Amino acid sequence: MAAKHLRRERFPSPSSDDDAPPPEQRIDKCPILVGKNVDLASFTFDAPSFHIEDYFVAMGWVSLVTLDEKVYPNIMKEFYKDLIFSPGSGITCLVLNKRLKITRDLIRSILHLEDCDLRIYSSKTIPHLEGYNPAEACSRVTGKHFEEARRLSSNQLTLPCRVLHNIISHIIVPRKGHLDEVNHFDVILLDSILVGRKLDFPYIMLHHMNTVHRGHRPMALPYGMILTKIFQHHQISFCDEVVFSVKPTDTIDIHTLRRMKIIKQDGQWVAQSKGFDDESSPSTLPFEGGEDMDEDAPPPSPPRPRSHRPSSSSSGFNEDHFNLLNGRIDSLTSTIDGLQHTANIIQTSVGGLQSSVDGLSSLHNTIEELRLTMGTLQQSVDGMASLLRALHSRLDAMVPHPPPLPET
């Protein structure tokens, strides 16, 4: 069953469709999201209190979050350039002269996911979901009581939810940018994972790909590893294609906690510093409809501090900004990863050009060798011709000519 949308409050589009560049030009500028996977055993062994593996077993998403495949960026871009989305039938596209059709059933079969009737996706609206209360969801994911829904930062989430939000941002609804911001759809996903409300992932994936494709500005192209599985199903050839592989740092495991400033003290996992104060952080903003989950959108600006003399309470304000700075550093780390992937493409392309140059040089050397061989053969033929002429002259000298016939 698809969720109903109660409110249609939207931010105005940055430009009209007439002003938007064609997909071919825009997608050429889009970075590729190689994706990440999760080492569930690492969390089960080192952080069992987080119940990360239990959550994804309950959702039926274990095969999704543990997927490990190579990624082919050029084929991915060709896929997104020709993407045609139909809400009822899925996606069709032309890749390497093959027409592909991608449906929810196909994705479910390839990833070995359970069938699920609860279909929901939102990029700019707050959907109505039966049994879902936004304020209760905010309370659940933060461990604090809220009378009404609020915008949240990842630093306000409970520690397990911080890890889950990291997984959502890289695997379920992949994007780049300020991952310290928790949008309303993130809260729905987090709450669904916590309470075991099973959602149809193929529905989310198809709609998120369409959101990326029809965007007015370049957005990171998601689901690289899943698309590789789909290309394999359609027998797309990967010969001579640029390829990316998942790096050790692309695996979300116990080491990720340390990078997220979550450390172990006295046998308990704790945040390295306190989160945001509810009265001095963006969480005091209403949880409004129309929030755009575009990863390129800037994060909300922190409120200005009240005019007062420095006091002991000002340390909380500084600490909040320190946490916000940590979030920005995480975002910069994601950007650096994207630049590294771009550098890998350039390096691979240079290697291909070098191979071509080496091939041309080898061909030139072969032609030179053939030319020299032909010259040698010509000399041999000339020598044999001279020898035959000499033999003919000697035969003429040794054999007398017959006398002329008498005239009759």
Q: Which positions ≥6 away from 33 have C-beta within 8 Å?
A: 170, 174, 175, 176, 220, 221, 222, 223, 224
Percent of the chain with pLDDT over 70: 69
Rounded-to-integer distance, Cα 333 and Cα 178, Å:
10
Domain boundary among 295, 321, 340: 295
Taking only the tens place, the pLDDT of each residue in 123-152 is: 667 677 888 899 999 999 999 998 888 889
Rounded-to-integer distance, Cα 311 and Cα 164, Å:
36
Domains held by the chain: number: 2
Domain boundary among 237, 267, 295: 295
Nearest Cα residue to 77 out of 101, 104, 96: 96
Identify the band that residue 75 occupies on the pLDDT scale cut at 50, 70 and 90: very high
Is the pLDDT assigned to residue 92 strictly greater than 60? Answer: yes
What per-residue string of b and e applies to 72-84 under the rule 16 or more CB within 10 Å gives b?
Answer: bbebbbbbbbbbe
Identify the band that residue 395 occupies on the pLDDT scale cut at 50, 70 and 90: confident
Phi, psi of 143 (to 5 degrees): 75, 10
pLDDT of residue 377: 79
Considering the domain architecture, whether residues 281 and 389 belong to the same structural domain is answered as no
Considering the domain architecture, whether residues 173 and 35 belong to the same structural domain is answered as yes
Mean of the pLDDT values across residues 251-267?
92
Do the domain assignments include residue 342?
A: no
DSSP H or E segment with residue 152: strand 152-153
Long-range contacts of 299-307 (CB under 8 A, 24+ apart): 299/178, 299/180, 299/181, 299/327, 300/151, 300/181, 305/280
Do the domain assignments include residue 402?
A: no
Is the pLDDT assigned to residue 257 strictly greater than 70? Answer: yes
**Could you tell me which residue, 325 or 206, shows the higher pLDDT?**
206
Considering the domain architecture, whether residues 254 and 387 belong to the same structural domain is answered as no
Do the domain assignments include residue 305?
A: no
Is the pLDDT assigned to residue 180 strictly greater than 90? Answer: no
pLDDT of residue 251: 94
Rounded-to-integer distance, Cα 331 and Cα 329, Å:
5
Encoding tokens for residue 355?
């191979």
Considering the domain architecture, whether residues 187 and 276 belong to the same structural domain is answered as yes
Taking only the tens place, the pLDDT of each residue in 40-63 is: 999 999 999 999 999 999 999 999
Q: Which positions ≥6 away from 85 have C-beta within 8 Å?
A: 91, 206, 209, 210, 213, 214
Q: Which DSSP state fits 278? A: T
Domain boundary among 295, 327, 342: 295
Considering the domain architecture, whether residues 262 and 379 belong to the same structural domain is answered as no
Do the domain assignments include residue 29?
A: yes
Q: Which positions ≥6 away from 126 have C-beta within 8 Å?
A: 5, 6, 7, 134, 184, 287, 289, 291
Mean pLDDT computed over every residue of the chain: 78
The CA R_g of the chain, rounded to the nearest whole Å, is 33
**Could you tell me which residue, 323 or 54, shows the higher pLDDT?**
54
Considering the domain architecture, whether residues 373 and 288 belong to the same structural domain is answered as no
Do the domain assignments include residue 312?
A: no
Considering the domain architecture, whether residues 240 and 372 belong to the same structural domain is answered as no
Using DSSP bridges, classify how beta strands 268-271 and 262-265 pair: parallel, antiparallel or unpaired: antiparallel
Domain assignment of residue 375, given as a range? 364-393
Encoding tokens for residue 306?
């009240």
Identify whether the C-beta of residue 326 lies closer than 8 Å to the C-beta of residue 261: yes
pLDDT of residue 3: 54
